[in-house]
């Protein structure tokens, strides 16, 4: 009888420790999720530049699997600033050859799209 009471007490202590550790693990998980999803996209990038449309120094970047070409570094920086304000990853400049690999192929006149 004494041994069964002792076993029940031990089991009860084990369950209390188990519940406490489970509660701590859940709380830590929620804290990690909440801190990982807070990003500052409050328009912190306020690049106010007047880009010269006549200055030509092409910048090439691949965005979403599509090649994008910018007239110069000013336009490229302005686009990256807008992306930062929208919580998007910044674009990285690449070589024209690498970028052209992502250009959509042209279709012949009145023809079907080539793949």
pLDDT band at 27 (very low <50, low <70, confident <90, very high): confident
pLDDT of the residue at 56 = 95
This prediction's pTM = 0.56
Q: How far apart are CA 84 and CA 44, in angstroms?
A: 8
pLDDT of the residue at 37 = 54
Nearest-10 Cα torsion for 44, 50, 53, 55: -100
Residues contacting 96, CB < 8 A, separation 6+: 58, 60
* Residue ranges covered by each domain of the chain: 1-37, 39-104
């Amino acid at each position: 009888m004494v041994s069964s009471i002792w076993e029940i007490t031990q089991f009860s202590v084990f369950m209390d420790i188990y519940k406490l550790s489970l509660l701590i693990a859940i709380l830590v998980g929620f804290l990690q999720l909440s801190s990982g999803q807070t990003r500052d996209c409050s328009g912190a990038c306020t690049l106010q530049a007047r880009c010269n449309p006549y200055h030509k120094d092409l910048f090439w970047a691949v965005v979403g699997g599509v090649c994008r070409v910018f007239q110069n570094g000013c336009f490229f920086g302005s686009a990256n600033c807008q992306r930062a304000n929208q919580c998007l990853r910044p674009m990285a400049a690449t070589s024209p050859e690498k970028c052209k690999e992502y250009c959509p192929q042209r279709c012949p006149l009145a023809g079907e799209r080539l793949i």
